[in-house]
Chains A and B, each alone.
Chain A
Amino acid sequence: MSDILVSEQSAPGPGGSGRPSGRLLEVDDLRVEFRTRDGVAKVINGVTYHVDAGETLAVLGESGSGKSVTAQTIMGILDTPPGFVTGGQVRFHGKDMLRMSDEERRRIRGEGIAMIFQDALSALNPVFTVGFQIAEQFRFRRGMGRAEAKKRAIDMLDQVKIPNAKDRFNNYPHQFSGGMRQRAMIAMSLALDPEVLIADEPTTALDVTVQAQIMDLLAELQRERQMGLILITHDLGVVADVADRIAVMYAGRIVEEADVYELYAKPAHPYTMGLIDSIPRLDEKGQQLRTIKGLPPNLMNIPPGCPFNPRCPMAQPVCREKVPPLLQVGPARASACHFAEELVNRV
């Protein structure tokens, strides 16, 4: 039964073995604003990125940079109101999800794109057992019976390395530790074998030793399943360990996109440079940290020109007048800075 359903799902799409060169998931010039009593906050101002099968894209940014709102828009879980999509597309296998019917989008959720959240305790339903919440998907989406769904759910718990999965099936979320809850949520999101997984700060609430376990697990599952992984985080350390490509966000825009090695070796945007310089490193003995002066802009009142210009050490008059577009500055790398060329060509 389940097999038939799966093949029906994948047959009409462009998927299958010979997946065309088209992108798996693309966000194209997305714009989102939040209309509040105090005014309109322009949270996403033209974000473009994509992720392909088997690839890890890290979306890096500080709070308020729009990284989570972009993910919510992709999943179709943006709170409306106050959030409104005002432009752009989110294409999955070339089809714009923002123009799909609710029914079509629902079918993509879970099987096409799944998401895990920062706070597993509030993402899991406290009044159902963990096992039930995983098995539920097999029953409703795959039409399995109770017993078979349970077997599959236990198998999922096993795959995310929860010890004694059989006994743990009947536990409630509060009986799990923080790391185990995160594992359970990963099991839940991977149950329907999604092609893309969006992980929104999956380890931010966890301790370092547990964080390392969870990141290992995510990387392993991604390799096995050849998923596209969008890792949303503010942690430059985690990114350096797992990402293939990085998109750096600031004030609702992508300011730099590059291969992970290039980005750390030679950032092509002053904001990225500032970020890398301002983190204390475990393997470096302390001197004064270099900082980025000032604060991120108020999204209701983004400064004209480059949104980073009031904080930028390199700012020139042109930066206050013209918004720098995100332009290619090398193979597979782009920067939204008027002086990107100079940054890339510096010795």
Chain B
Amino acid sequence: MSENILEVNDLVKHYPVTQGVVFKKTVGQVKAVDGVSFSLRAGETLGVVGESGCGKSTLARVLMNLEKPTAGNVVYKGQDISKLSGGALRRLRRQIQLVMQDPYTSLNPRMTVGDLLGEPFEIHPEVAPKGSRRAKVRELLDLVGLNPEHINRYPHQFSGGQRQRIGIARALALRPEIIVCDEPVSALDVSIQAQVMNLLEQLQGEFGLSYVFIAHDLSVVRHLSDRVAVMYLGKIVEIGTEDEIYERPTHPYTQALLSAVPVPDPTQRNNKTIIRLTGDVPSPISPPSGCRFRTRCWKAQDVCAEQVPLLEIRRSSDHPSACHFAEKREIVASHEV
């Protein structure tokens, strides 16, 4: 396959937990992202799934260099982007853009669509000379399926799905190579969600974009992704191609996650494998020792509390899995459509 466009090496992001007002002291660390490594190939979609609090949005922020990592780095085409600043960082931003979850809060309500989509060109004037910007904005609107005549409207005059299209158009304005999508469809209704997902796929084909697609909905991720990383409490527990993760999951957490997804087919009611996890996700301030999933895992042994399982290819797993007892288990009976 094609070369790696983005490499993430042992990325760590901790947030301090402080106590006291005048004399602040750090009493702990929220280990939001704790040693994450993966690579993104040109033109592919890497899905990142996990439940709330697993660190997937923090990951997006660090990838975008909106936050500096505590340790580790993000390398874009051989360049460590976590060390960039000033002009170099600004130039890099042209290549990596973000689509945010909530189309209601991520668009400035006082700016017209024309201003919103024109702003990237103000910051990067070299992309489009001044006179051509309005035309560029119209072109963008047309590209994402909005009426170019609506260039003078404000965000509140659009529906949620249309606003998300504006968000996508804004991310596309500078013709980036990578778009990080942080839950881009989770605020949308089903009928609208499908439209936006199709748009993302169509744009990828047209511009050869690479996506890091972060979401909690496993069905959505399967639909769009070439490869998938499953996160739990700041770590990747399993990573592989779409088929490997959905058809041959080897990590107990992935298996539980897959079995919990309701399938919209009542005839499947009684022939589904159901793994019910008990309890809640532990606090990322003091994650369990060893394997972080062991407190909810039915396979947990003593070794799980002592040794952190590495994310590696194991005897019984054809793709990297961070479980001492990784084992294939079919959860979802997949079929082509």
A and B associate in one complex: yes
Chain B 257-272 residues near chain A, CB threshold 8 A: 257-269
In the complex, which of the residues A210, A216, A240, A289 contacts B280, with contact meaning CB atoms closer than 8 Å? A210
Contact B191 A291 (CB under 8 A): yes
Size range of the interface on B?
A: 35 or more
Residues of B within 8 A of A295 (CB): 159, 161-162, 192
- A170 beta carbon closer than 8 Å to chain B: no
- B17 beta carbon closer than 8 Å to chain A: no
Chain B 48-94 residues near chain A, CB threshold 8 A: 51-52
Contact B190 A275 (CB under 8 A): yes
Residues of A within 8 A of B281 (CB): 207
- A316 beta carbon closer than 8 Å to chain B: no
Q: B216-241, CB under 8 A of A: which get 1 and which 0?
A: 10111011100000000000000000
Contact A260 B261 (CB under 8 A): no
- A280 beta carbon closer than 8 Å to chain B: yes
CB distance from B266 to the nearest CB of A (A): 5
CB distance from A28 to the nearest CB of B (A): 28
Contact B262 A279 (CB under 8 A): no
A212 to B332, CA, bound (A): 16
A240 to B262, CA, bound (A): 8
Chain B binder among A66-74, A231-239, A337-345: A231-239
- A292 beta carbon closer than 8 Å to chain B: yes
Chain A 204-243 residues near chain B, CB threshold 8 A: 207-213, 215-216, 234-241, 243
Residues of B within 8 A of A285 (CB): 222, 242, 334-337
CB distance from B161 to the nearest CB of A (A): 7
Q: B319-337, CB under 8 A of A: which get 1 and which 0?
A: 0000000000000111111
Contact B222 A287 (CB under 8 A): no
A209 to B279, CA, bound (A): 10
Q: A239-256, CB under 8 A of B: which get 1 and which 0?
A: 111010000000000000
Contact A264 B260 (CB under 8 A): no
Residues of B within 8 A of A265 (CB): 267
Query: Per DSSP, are chain B's interface residues mostly helix, strand or loop, or mixed?
Result: helix
Chain A 68-96 residues near chain B, CB threshold 8 A: none
| Cβ-closest chain B residue relative to A290 | B194
Residues of A within 8 A of B193 (CB): 278
Q: B86-107, CB under 8 A of A: which get 1 and which 0?
A: 0000000000000000000000
- A37 beta carbon closer than 8 Å to chain B: no
- A167 beta carbon closer than 8 Å to chain B: no
Contact A213 B336 (CB under 8 A): no
In the complex, which of the residues A62, A240, A264, A281 contacts B191, with contact meaning CB atoms closer than 8 Å? A62
Contact A282 B194 (CB under 8 A): no
In the complex, which of the residues A215, A216, A288, A296 contacts B198, with contact meaning CB atoms closer than 8 Å? A288
Contact A282 B276 (CB under 8 A): no
- B302 beta carbon closer than 8 Å to chain A: no
- B143 beta carbon closer than 8 Å to chain A: no
- A38 beta carbon closer than 8 Å to chain B: no
CB distance from A202 to the nearest CB of B (A): 13
Of B222, B256, B258, B336, most A-chain CB atoms within 10 Å: B222
Q: B158-179, CB under 8 A of A: which get 1 and which 0?
A: 0101100000000000000000
Known A283-B332, A289-B223: A207·B266 in contact at CB below 8 Å: no
Residues of B within 8 A of A128 (CB): none
- A-B CB contacts (within 8 Å), total count: 141
Residues of B within 8 A of A234 (CB): 189-190
- B201 beta carbon closer than 8 Å to chain A: yes
A216 to B277, CA, bound (A): 12
Residues of B within 8 A of A287 (CB): 337
Of A209, A216, A236, A239, most B-chain CB atoms within 10 Å: A209
Contact B194 A213 (CB under 8 A): no
CB distance from A120 to the nearest CB of B (A): 14
A279 to B197, CA, bound (A): 10
A41 to B293, CA, bound (A): 49
- A180 beta carbon closer than 8 Å to chain B: yes
Residues of B within 8 A of A237 (CB): 219, 261-264
CB distance from B240 to the nearest CB of A (A): 15
In the complex, which of the residues B191, B216, B263, B269 contacts A282, with contact meaning CB atoms closer than 8 Å? B263
Contact B52 A283 (CB under 8 A): no
Residues of B within 8 A of A240 (CB): 262-266, 268-269
Chain B 293-337 residues near chain A, CB threshold 8 A: 332-337
| Cβ-closest chain A residue relative to B161 | A295
A63 to B191, CA, bound (A): 11
Known A240-B266, A274-B191: A282·B261 in contact at CB below 8 Å: yes
Contact A291 B219 (CB under 8 A): no
- A164 beta carbon closer than 8 Å to chain B: no
A285 to B334, CA, bound (A): 7
Contact A213 B262 (CB under 8 A): no
| Cβ-closest chain B residue relative to A177 | B280
- B213 beta carbon closer than 8 Å to chain A: no
Known A208-B51, A240-B266, A280-B219: A291·B260 in contact at CB below 8 Å: no
13 pairs from A and B in contact (CB 8 Å cutoff)? A207-B51, A207-B216, A212-B260, A212-B274, A213-B276, A234-B189, A241-B266, A279-B264, A282-B219, A284-B337, A285-B335, A288-B198, A289-B223
Given A63-B189, A209-B51, A285-B222, 9 more contacts at CB 8 Å?
A207-B51, A209-B277, A235-B262, A240-B264, A284-B335, A288-B201, A290-B194, A293-B195, A295-B161
CB-CB nearest 5 A-B residue pairs = A237-B262, A280-B223, A278-B194, A207-B51, A62-B189
Interface residues of B (CB under 8 A from A): 51-52, 159, 161-162, 189-195, 197-198, 201, 216, 218-220, 222-224, 242, 246, 256-269, 274, 276-278, 280-281, 332-337
